Amino acid sequence: MKTKITELFGIEHPIIQGGMHFVGFAEMAAAVSNAGGLGVITALTLRTADALANEIRRCREMTDKPFGVNLTFLPVVSAPDYPGYIRAIIEGGVKVVETAGNNPQQWLPALHEAGIKVIHKCTSVRHSLKAEAIGCDAVSVDGFECGGHPGEDDVPNFILLPRAAEELKIPFVASGGMADGRSLVAALALGAEGMNMGTRFIATKEAPVHENVKRAIVAASELDTRLVMRPLRNTERVMRNDAVERLLEKERTLGSSLKFEDIVAEVAGVYPRIMQEGAMDAGAWSCGMVAGLIHDIPTVKELIDRIMGEAERIICTRLAGLVTA
């Protein structure tokens, strides 16, 4: 399938794997890129610029296809070495960067000078237009359904995507709630040039996480996520578990006086315990409502081939049949 996004990134299928903390290692990114999508390494999971440079090298050993790096600019306790990460990305010959969180403007000249395309992840039309205005090459429009940080506007993709299509000139992909061929066709129909998936890619054979995480996603329904940190205006959609119930109880009790320090035990530094040790109640971890559509743990190639086959069948058979009937 050819879209503006496959052309922009030089990939076969219009499917991107969004950056994911403690999931987006070289194994994940290479598996997605080898299957014809765009795999993405998550920079902040690698503690230093040297570690990121090493991860980029490892990924290149596993694939000769294009892959990207996610740079997330979120409120964090101590600022990571962003200049070092940018250097590692440029020197590593990476050709796509997915930015997320705060405005990436200050990093764009260096990235563009190195021939790197930038796709910025946004949760609103307003931020998407800003990304376009500062010179981003594409946008990943992340609806309210998404795993991770959906922003504070709570607009689901059935509204957000066509609104983005009405306003944007640069291409965009649909992100949040995407799982299968139906998602891809719907995203294209609403004006997107492809789709970005997070949660769906965790439940694959190659995802470098503990089996308990994959099983938890398969077992979950669309009712099993919760929104946390809303009082801090840093809303995150996470999988429901004991730690999340504790966290929500603190939010209810403390109300508007809640501070980040009150919830450190439930949110800070919990990812290695969950993703690597499989301690599923260790804290809050991002997960999308799309868990309700995830029923198996295929290889990444099986997943992507299935999505593309299903999308083509829907477009060429079911939809074409409706208009000719």
By CB under 6 A, name the binding residues for ligand FMN: 18-21, 23, 42, 44, 70, 72, 100, 121, 142, 145-148, 175-178, 196-200, 285-288, 290
CA distances in angstroms from 166 to 113, 150, 159, 190, 317, listed in the order given = 30, 21, 11, 10, 28
Q: Which is nearer to ligand FMN, 30 or 69 (CB)?
A: 69
CB of 117 to ligand FMN, least distance (A): 16
CB of 225 to ligand FMN, least distance (A): 9
Whether 150 and 235 have beta carbons less than 8 Å apart is answered as yes
Q: Which is nearer to ligand FMN, 6 or 17 (CB)?
A: 17
CA distances in angstroms from 37 to 72, 119, 202, 273, 300, listed in the order given = 21, 15, 15, 29, 10
CB of 60 to ligand FMN, least distance (A): 21
Q: Which is nearer to ligand FMN, 44 or 116 (CB)?
A: 44
Q: Report the residue number whose CB is nearest to ligand FMN.
A: 198
CB of 90 to ligand FMN, least distance (A): 20
29 Cα distance to chain centroid: 12
First to last CA, the chain: 25
C-alpha to C-alpha distance for 166 and 185, rounded to whole angstroms: 18
Q: Which is nearer to ligand FMN, 113 or 271 (CB)?
A: 271
CB of 222 to ligand FMN, least distance (A): 11
Q: Which is nearer to ligand FMN, 2 or 126 (CB)?
A: 126
CB of 168 to ligand FMN, least distance (A): 18
CA triple 145-107-19, angle to 5 deg: 30
CA distances in angstroms from 266 to 32, 74, 270, listed in the order given = 31, 18, 7
Q: Which is nearer to ligand FMN, 39 or 288 (CB)?
A: 288
Whether 120 and 140 have beta carbons less than 8 Å apart is answered as yes
